[in-house]
Structure 1
Amino acid sequence: MLHLSGLYRYPMKSAAGEALSEAMLDDLGVQGDRRWMAVDAETGRFLTQRLLPSMTQLNVRWQGHAYIVLSAPGMDELQVAVPDEWAPLRPVTIWRDNPQVPDAGEAAAQWLSCWLKRPCRLVYISAERARQIDTAYAQPGERVAFADGFPLLLIGQASLEDLSARVGRALSMLRFRPNLVVNGSAAYAEDGWSRIRIGEVEFRVVKGCSRCIMTTLDPLTGERSEDREPLTSLRRYRERDGEVYFGQNLIACGGGRLALDMPVEVLA
């Protein structure tokens, strides 16, 4: 029987993830997921592990809709409040989007700049300022926070196990940063799904997830694989039109509650 075996939230884009036993979904995916982002202080361009592997060691704990707590090795914890409606707006760049979003203030900027060793700012995105999902895959009004393109990412546990066998060593699921992990299906079965239900929430499976150099970083240490795995193996059998795919992007058809071990039903 298919069931939900993993559930993750990433409060800050490209920082460490949180394993959850249950979560609520809202219009932007898992509540609190990728609502915060580090950007270059001068250009406003988004910062990720692709450029800064030390972001793997940056922990961000979501504390409801009021604040987050930043922590990293050798750093004092910092509590950062969600910016209020009077917070100054900062133009930022995330891929082709250029939203104006609230800045989280000087204390957060100084803390992040110290840890990342470069001038940066911390910004927040609300539902009102969220980005339109590519309308080739979504309806007008369907939005995403600071995730690359879609609110949710699903990976089958069997797919990871197959890839690990091909690489020759066990790989952490967190290398691939999914929100949802499904157990009980065949490897890569998710590639053929177009609509699923988890508990009482339905999802559209809209697009395969193309993978980048971030997957070669150990999520626990930030060290890069010298053999460029798992990308090297994925390219041998998961490359299409110059892109390497692993996992499926989802859009939820409404909100609701998710919890580990909930049944997963393939509707189409």
Structure 2
Amino acid sequence: MKLTAINKYPVKSLKGLSLDSSLIDEFGIENDRRWMLVDSDGRFVTQRKHPIMGTIAVEDRDGLLRFTSAEGSVLDVQAGDFVNSIDAQVWSDNIVALGAGDAISGWFSELLGTPVNLVYMPDSTFRQVDRNYADYKQRVGFADGFPFLLISEASLEDLNSRLDSPVAMSRFRPNLVVTGCDAFEEDSWQLIRIGDIEFELVKPCSRCIMTTIDEVSLNYGKEPLKTLATYRRNDYGVCFGQNLVHQNQGVLSVGANVEVLKRL
């Protein structure tokens, strides 16, 4: 089996970036979901309510974030722009984050049509992964619960064979995509090694309404959740993909071997 894609999402719910390789640090993929947008109460904002977020591209390089809207408007944000301490909330976790200034917040607020602020999770803030499934001291950024989501190409092929209109892998926002296994074989893995990095598979990923947003029209639909619900429903909900935590740090590259070390 091989790793065929590495994706990171610097800002929660904005467009992702496809990488050839990446450093894997304490948080996961370097700079993956270290930023997010929050409302005036500090609560996280996502495509679930604001599909337009999925049209905002972001690049991160050398301490600079460059945002580009679908209309071509560009905003550059420096690491030093985050100076205000803000109490932010993602799901049930309350986090001390650093907020950006009014000009930066205004750019995003205009795009979304509601007041929002861009916040950053500094190294000094520790947010633990979901303790119900990984009770050891493992940190995570602003991801929903875990630093990695893995999906196999075969699983997407199986789903698309059941849909009238196929969907792209990007609908599911995986960090890691693998090939060379059977559809949903990843459900049976407990511990794997990709390159030199070991990962524990801790929980099936339950899917939400975000997967039904058409990436071009931004309209909500019924698929692929409707079809997934007919054969991928379990105690966690309607699931597609597996949540992972990493056991060590290093560099991960596309083309790396994927080895199953332990199965359920």
**Shorter-normalised TM range:** over 0.9
**CA deviation string 1:213-244 (max 9, x = no partner):** 0000123442322xx00000010011113611
- Rate the CA distance shift 1:133–1:260 in 2: closer, same or farther, 3 A: same
For 2:260 and 2:234, the matched residues in 1 are separated by 25
Q: Unaligned 5+ residue runs, structure 2? A: none
For 1:143 and 1:232, the matched residues in 2 are separated by 33
- Rate the CA distance shift 1:43–1:155 in 2: closer, same or farther, 3 A: same
1:17 is displaced (CA, Å) by 0.8
- Do the aligned partners of 2:204 and 2:236 also contact (CA within 8 Å) in 1? no
Aligned to 1:73: 70
TM-score w.r.t. the length of structure 2 is: 0.95
Q: 1:122 aligns with which of 102, 106, 118?
A: 118
Aligned to 1:44: 42
- Do the aligned partners of 1:46 and 1:94 also contact (CA within 8 Å) in 2? yes
| 1:78-117 → structure 2 map (5 Å cutoff) | 78-83=75-80, 87-117=83-113
Aligned to 1:141: 137
| 1:156-175 → structure 2 map (5 Å cutoff) | 156-175=152-171
Aligned to 1:254: 248
1:117 is displaced (CA, Å) by 1.0
For 1:220 and 1:79, the matched residues in 2 are separated by 25
1:104 is displaced (CA, Å) by 1.6
Task: Determine helix, strand or coil for the equivalent of 1:99.
Answer: strand
Number of equivalenced pairs: 262
1:112 is displaced (CA, Å) by 0.5
For 1:73 and 1:98, the matched residues in 2 are separated by 31
Amino acid at match of 2:258: V
- Rate the CA distance shift 1:148–1:220 in 2: closer, same or farther, 3 A: same
For 2:196 and 2:236, the matched residues in 1 are separated by 37
**CA deviation string 1:129-183 (max 9, x = no partner):** 1311122322442111000000000001000000011113221101000000000
Task: Determine helix, strand or coil for the equivalent of 1:203.
Answer: strand
- Do the aligned partners of 1:28 and 1:127 also contact (CA within 8 Å) in 2? no
Amino acid at match of 1:81: Q
- Do the aligned partners of 1:83 and 1:102 also contact (CA within 8 Å) in 2? no
| 1:210-225 → structure 2 map (5 Å cutoff) | 210-225=206-221
For 1:173 and 1:112, the matched residues in 2 are separated by 26
**CA deviation string 1:76-112 (max 9, x = no partner):** 3111112478x11111111001112000222210110
For 2:141 and 2:217, the matched residues in 1 are separated by 27
TM-score w.r.t. the length of structure 1 is: 0.94
Pair 1:29-2:25 in alignment: no
Aligned to 1:151: 147
Aligned to 1:237: 231
- Rate the CA distance shift 1:246–1:102 in 2: closer, same or farther, 3 A: same
- Same amino acid, percent of matched pairs: 44
- Do the aligned partners of 2:6 and 2:177 also contact (CA within 8 Å) in 1? yes
1:114 is displaced (CA, Å) by 1.1
For 1:46 and 1:175, the matched residues in 2 are separated by 20
RMSD of aligned C-alpha atoms? Answer: 1.4
- Do the aligned partners of 1:127 and 1:145 also contact (CA within 8 Å) in 2? no
- Do the aligned partners of 2:206 and 2:236 also contact (CA within 8 Å) in 1? no
For 1:118 and 1:209, the matched residues in 2 are separated by 30
Amino acid at match of 1:216: T
For 1:132 and 1:18, the matched residues in 2 are separated by 24
Amino acid at match of 1:235: A
Aligned to 1:182: 178
Write out the 4+ residue segments of structure 1 that deviate beyond 3 Å after TM superposition: none
